[in-house]
Amino acid sequence: MLIFDFKKAKIYQIPFLSFAVLFFLFSCKPHLLEPETVPELSGLETLLIFPFKDMAAVYGQNVDVRCPLCGNMFMTGEVSVEAEDMMTDYLTSLMQERTDFKILTPEQAKGIISGLPPENKKGPSEVEIIVAAGRAFDADVVMVSHIYRFTERIGTSYAVDSPASVAFDIHLVRVSDGRILWVGRFDETQRPLTENLFKIGAFFKRKWRWITAGEMAASALDDVLTIFLKQ
């Protein structure tokens, strides 16, 4: 069996260790929030998906950032180079599999993203540009998402020097009036179970492992869209 030395971040092999030790190895501290309201999607048929936007590239790392659409606060961090494409592709595939929307792909929206104004600069607001993009593509709604952290673990499945950390949000914007119909968000840095015994469900879901940022993000996107589709 295995025991984890939290101070030295090492694994030692010792015999006859009880299951109780493994039970307290580690867990996570997710912040996946239920939406306050369920979106009304009747009559909405065509969805334009924007690529995820790296907010750390805009504001820098380790700073508190307010989402330009919903106002929620996040701490930025390192965002790996593959994060935007990976999360955009997975989000698109989930929406294609789980909804009846006609999907307009993020590739079609990339040119629009370059037209978004820099923060604190005068010009059309982000919502105005999103609405204009939706109208240009004859979409009913636009899905707009931001990444604040996508930091890979340093270590292995059973011993880490630094755990994975992911934060993102997703917005559904109605083109007809610019109203935000729904917001999904996720903010987590994986923690040992001993720091939060109430997260035992996530502990078992992750099979007693320190997961990668990619695993964390994919699972979170699944969960966020499951909430979104509870209609």
Instruction: For residue 197, tell me if it sits in a domain.
Output: no
User: pLDDT at position 229, please?
Assistant: 80
Sequential DSSP letters for 68-106? TTT--EEE---B-TTHHHHHHHHHHHHHHHH--PEEEPH
The C-alpha atoms of residue 64 and residue 102 are separated, in whole angstroms, by 36
Residue 160 main-chain phi, psi, to 5 deg: -130, 150
Instruction: For residue 215, tell me if it sits in a domain.
Output: yes
CATH (domain of 63) = 3.40.50.10610
Instruction: For residue 56, tell me if it sits in a domain.
Output: yes
Residue 177 CB-density burial (10 A; 0-12 exposed, 13-18 middle, 19+ buried): exposed
Overall number of domains in the chain:
1
Instruction: For residue 63, tell me if it sits in a domain.
Output: yes
Instruction: For residue 157, tell me if it sits in a domain.
Output: yes
Its pTM stands at 0.77
Instruction: For residue 155, tell me if it sits in a domain.
Output: yes
Instruction: For residue 13, tell me if it sits in a domain.
Output: no
User: pLDDT at position 157, please?
Assistant: 82
Distances, alpha carbon 67 to alpha carbons 23, 56, 149, 171, in Å:
37, 12, 13, 10
Instruction: For residue 15, tell me if it sits in a domain.
Output: no
* 157-199 confidence digits (pLDDT tens): 888 788 899 999 999 999 999 999 999 999 999 876 555 555 5
Q: Which domain holds residue 61?
A: 29-191+209-228
* 59-112 confidence digits (pLDDT tens): 999 999 999 999 999 999 999 999 999 999 999 999 999 999 999 988 877 766
- As a whole number of angstroms, the longest Cα–Cα distance in the chain is 67
